[in-house]
């Protein structure tokens, strides 16, 4: 349920209304926009009579929210959320960013790749220190050593780091190293203990859609994080499993505008994991940009044929530079004023 507050309401009246909501065992989510203030009632709203709420002097109107996700819902928060990822990098609300780097942290080549992607225009550095793999015998990542290498690269280049967290027990390791953006991968998108634990922090979370997850399931995963007090969630479309075998996954670009309609959270797109092949990454990065993605996550490696994981979908630095030039042109087209 949401209550739209009248312009004439004072701060004291709003505070009194919030106290009343909380006395009923609910929590209040307040969103102040340029034109109106919206108070979202979160909890078992069946105990609240909407006609009673609407009869209050400060309330303009009341509306039921049928979707199970509340805090992530655009009805609760009509304006786009802008997330500060550190180092002056903002995502959402017209702020567009590109995350780039290798699938896995492999060693000293990380800094070399990082310098290349930054020079081409990337604003955040990705790299996996912990790698969820289908086979237990595949490379699992460098662990804490990989986090340290990422931290060194991020500090030298003044770039936020984006890397995956897989275990609630690793939260303190990430906090100690000031990892700016924590990625929740597709395999962990419904790891509810992990979602709750990262929700207890204020760290930006890049939350990927599940391997065969629906859009609503992605938003409910975001709700798990937000319900614990962390509003800094970026939802990411990275392709879903379908019957099609010509690509690694099916890149559901419908999800980008659909998510923008349903949620105020920034929307990211990952054309690398979605397609699985280098030759498709740039075209789909351009398509995601045109569809309105707030950021892209692209894998880049200086020697893809010898990459320790996912080399088949990595761009070389030269290919990435070309892609960034094309992305800039698409951004220019989609953001231009039309007479």
Instruction: Answer yes or no: is pLDDT of 128 > 70.
Output: yes
In contact, 150 and 159? CB cutoff 8 Å: no
Picking from 19-28, 154-163, 171-180, which range would have the lowest pLDDT averaged per residue? 19-28
Instruction: Answer yes or no: is pLDDT of 34 > 70.
Output: no
Q: Which residues have C-beta within 8 Å of that of residue 41, sequence separation ≥ 6?
A: 1, 2, 3, 21, 26, 27, 28, 48
Alpha carbon distance 162, 283 (integer Å): 23
Alpha carbon distance 240, 211 (integer Å): 5
Q: Pairing state of beta strands 37-42 and 161-164?
A: unpaired
Same fold, 2-63 and 83-335: no
Quick one: pLDDT at residue 98?
98
Give the number of other CB atoms < 10 A from CB of residue 339: 3
Instruction: Answer yes or no: is pLDDT of 339 > 80.
Output: no
User: pLDDT (tens digit, 9 = 90+) per residue, 261-284?
Assistant: 999 999 999 999 999 999 999 999
Give the number of other CB atoms < 10 A from CB of residue 143: 14
**CATH class (in words) of the domain with range 2-63:** alpha beta
Residue 34 C-alpha from the chain's centroid: 25
Q: Where do the DSSP E strands lie in 20-80?
A: 27-32, 37-42, 59-63
Query: Of residues 208 and 53, which shows the higher confidence score?
Result: 208
Alpha carbon distance 190, 224 (integer Å): 9
- Sign of the Cα pseudo-torsion (209, 223, 80, 121, in order): negative
Tokens matching residue 272? 């690398």
Backbone angles phi, psi at 147, to 5 degrees: -60, -40
User: pLDDT (tens digit, 9 = 90+) per residue, 57-79?
Assistant: 888 888 888 788 999 999 988 99
Long-range contact pairs involving 43-47 (C-beta distance under 8 Å, separation at least 24) = 45/1
Which fold would CATH assign to domain 83-335? TIM Barrel (3.20.20)
User: pLDDT (tens digit, 9 = 90+) per residue, 302-327?
Assistant: 999 999 888 999 999 999 999 999 99
Alpha carbon distance 180, 202 (integer Å): 10
Q: Give the start-to-end residue ranges of the domains of the chain.
A: 2-63, 83-335
The DSSP letter of residue 269 is: E
pTM for the model: 0.91
In contact, 129 and 147? CB cutoff 8 Å: yes
Give the helix ranges, DSSP H, for 203-277: 215-227, 255-262, 271-275
């Amino acid at each position: 349920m949401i209550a739209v507050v009248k312009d004439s309401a004072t701060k004291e009246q709003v505070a009194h209304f919030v106290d009343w909501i909380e006395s009923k065992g609910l929590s209040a989510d307040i969103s102040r926009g340029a034109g109106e203030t919206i108070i979202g009632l979160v909890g078992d709203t069946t105990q609240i009579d909407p006609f009673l709420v609407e009869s209050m002097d400060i309330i303009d109107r009341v509306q039921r929210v049928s979707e199970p996700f509340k805090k992530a819902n655009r009805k609760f928060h009509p304006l786009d959320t802008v997330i500060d990822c550190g180092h002056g990098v903002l995502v959402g609300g017209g702020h567009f960013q590109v995350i780039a780097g290798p699938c896995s942290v492999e060693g000293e080549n990380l800094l070399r790749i990082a310098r290349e992607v930054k020079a081409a225009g990337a604003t955040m550095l990705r790299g996996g220190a912990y790698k969820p793999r289908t086979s237990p015998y595949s490379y699992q990542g460098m662990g804490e050593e990989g986090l340290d290498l990422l931290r060194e690269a991020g500090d030298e280049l003044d770039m936020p780091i984006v890397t995956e967290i897989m275990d609630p027990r690793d939260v303190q390791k990430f906090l100690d190293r000031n990892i700016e953006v924590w990625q929740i991968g597709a395999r962990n998108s419904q790891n509810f203990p992990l979602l709750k634990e990262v929700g207890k922090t204020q760290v930006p979370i890049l939350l990927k859609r599940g391997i065969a997850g629906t859009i609503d399931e992605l938003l409910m995963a975001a709700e798990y994080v937000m319900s614990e007090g962390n509003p800094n969630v970026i939802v990411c479309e990275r392709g879903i499993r379908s019957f099609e075998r010509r690509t690694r996954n099916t890149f559901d670009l419908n999800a980008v505008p659909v998510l923008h309609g349903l949620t105020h959270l920034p929307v990211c797109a990952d054309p690398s994991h979605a397609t699985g092949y280098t030759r498709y990454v740039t075209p789909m990065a351009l398509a995601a940009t045109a569809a309105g993605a707030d950021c892209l996550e692209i894998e880049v490696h200086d020697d893809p044929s010898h990459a320790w994981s996912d080399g088949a979908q990595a761009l070389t630095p030269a290919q990435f530079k070309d892609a960034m030039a094309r992305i800039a042109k698409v951004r220019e087209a989609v953001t231009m004023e039309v007479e």
